[in-house]
Amino acid sequence: MSLEFNVINKENVSPSLLTKENLNLRQGEFLVMNSIMHLHKYVRESRGSLKAILQAIRKLNPALLTVVEQDANHNGPFFLGRFLESLHYYSAIFDSLEASLPRSSLQRIKIESSHFAEQIHNIVASEGSDRVERHEKADQWRRQLGRAGFQIVGLLTNYPEIFLALASFFFISYLLKHKNQVLVQWPILGTVPSILFNSTCLHDWFTEVLKGSRGTVLLTGPWFTKTDAFLTCDPANVHHILVTKFTNYPKGPEYSEKFDVLGDGIFNSDSTSWMMQRRMAQAHMSSNAFRQCLARTSREMVEKRLMPTLEHACDEGRIVDLQDVMLRFTFDNACALIFGVEPRCLSIDFPVVPFAKALDDVEEAIVFRYIVPGKLWKLLRWMKIGKERKLVKAKETIDKFISQCISVKLEELKRVPKEIREKNEAEKGKDLLTSYMDSTLSEPEMEGLKYFKFLRDTTLNLLIAGRDTTSASLTWFFWLVAKNPSVETKIIEELRTKCQHVESRKLVGFETSDLCGLVYLHAALCESLRLYPPLPIDQKGVLRPDVLPSGDAIKPGEMIMYSIYAMGRMEWIWGEDCLEFKPERWITKENELKFEPPNKFVAFNAGPRSCLGKDIAFTQMKAVATAVLYNFHVQVVEGHQVSPNTSVMLFMKHGLKVRLIKRQ
């Protein structure tokens, strides 16, 4: 689209000048005329001059005429009226100047003397044809334009293409003006456009923002909305939020609403409900019966599911998405530990499991809720369209699966005699659903639908924690090891040194007892979690006014987020080599594991909400890592792009495509 500008730069424009010939108009051209602070000079006492100008413009048949004028009544016939009107109008302007520019400012002196002084003098002291500053109210302009044949139109409704063009011009101009800024504060919209522009690389962008803002920054939402949020990676702030003032920073209703699919489970709960659920989870997960179940299940899943699948892919020379393999493995493993069932999601034919697919759809919808304004996704939820429609269907699939598991388990508890069950549990251990049922069936308040909902919410929360965090952590670990051959060599050497008693079999797996003394492997896992934490960012609500150690004042109703991903990339936290994968930073001179405070290494949270499954996670990760690395060399496909996805959990955007080579 070509544009041509014709500026009429004359003090007095006559109707004879406003013709198609003088303006060089061609047939079929789209004419837009713009008058800025000029037409009021043709308002005479007889109004004939203005009428002639407007009629000449009307004959040109412009598609659009824009008129910019002061909304003031400076055309009265009497001196006193003009004086009082000018006094009130220009006093407001001078008050604005007083607030924005000092009196000694050359810019202010020039504005006052060359512009406003001449206007005021002409309005107050001139009469007749000498008085040209004849400003009128907006209603009077509408009537004058209407009599000349013009129709008042809304720019957005009648000419959306012009509105979009003007908006695009403003948008591009503003963007170019602030192109060197990482975080741009937009008029009206706050930082929302900046977040949307960088939504495909959000975690890395947050890191750059925090590097240039002392570790804490305010992300503003649109005007007239309560969506401001503080983003921090300062360990002092994190300790303050998670430990010192823990009760002042709950999950909050906004978090629970976004994660409503989790129900009233431990991740969504606060206060008394959270304390009760945490006590129960801690008791069940630390019981001997569950620990026995954990050891047996982890070993069997590795030997009977993971190793055969990887061996089959290796023998066929297939390229494998190791992220998909880890997700399938941890899903099967978590279902076995929690429900006592094995969906067989991980097998050589990689079947589609509706329940696993439903969990992926849930996480996708939750990410969408974080990116778009709350009113929009709530409207979509009410209309049941888009991501929210997928979420509804996913929730139905999840509820159906869990309901079947609970029903089968209840029937089993009623059908199998207690003596036989206790004998089986002594040999194989007890899954978490059975453990919860044994402890709650006798409680009257857990009856009926309330009982089913409690079991549903509890098991779903545990399943998501066991599936996603471990699979994401293992995926990034294998990628880092593949990119750092020296680390891989040291892990293999440690395994061969510490586990010499392991019998030589076709594919070697390790007992839980073999994994405890692997210092270098543990350090490598910690280093991987430092750089790529499975939960890259978390949020808290605010109950009472507070001041963070960084000096930032927090108000009730605001949200505060802490970026665990960014913390691992700050030189002032981890040193100049913070971007390097160095397991040695976790090992002392005595070859022992080095302790790092939880507010610095937040992969397993800190304070009262610290992760209950930390030991379980390390046990499972070590079992998988040792089995895979001891038996196979993992080779990332050349040219495969690896980058974090913008998701609730830190998965890889394009998966992890690898080839597996058997070790001799």
Residue list for the binding site for heme: 611
The first and second tokens of residue 344, run together, are: 């067989």
DSSP symbol at 632: E
DSSP, collapsed to helix, strand or coil, labels residue 184 as coil
d(CA 488, CA 477): 11
| Contact (Cβ atoms closer than 8 angstroms) between residue 530 and residue 520 | no
CB 141 within 8 A of CB 69: yes
Q: What's the token pair of residue 248?
A: 């002042």
Residue recorded with tokens 């505060």:
560
What are the binding residues?
A: 611
- The Cα–Cα gap between 17 and 522 comes to 85
The Cα 447–Cα 200 span in angstroms is 46
Cα–Cα separations (whole angstroms), residue 653 to 76, 354, 475, 564 = 69, 21, 12, 19
* Residue 584, SS3 per DSSP: helix
Residues written for the chain: 664
Question: Could you give the CA distance from residue 254 to residue 215 in angstroms, rounded to a whole number?
Answer: 24
Q: Looking up tokens 């150690």, which residue turns up?
A: 549
φ/ψ of 36, rounded to 5, equals -115, 110
d(CA 465, CA 607) in angstroms, rounded, equals 18
Q: What angle do CA 107, 109, 114 make, to 5 degrees?
A: 100
DSSP state of 417: -
263, 430, 436, 439 from 443: Cα distances, Å: 21, 20, 11, 8
DSSP for residue 594:
P
∠ CA 395-401-406 to the nearest 5 degrees? Answer: 120
Q: Is 497 exposed, middle or buried (0-12, 13-18, 19+ CB in 10 A)?
A: exposed
CB 612 within 8 A of CB 278: yes
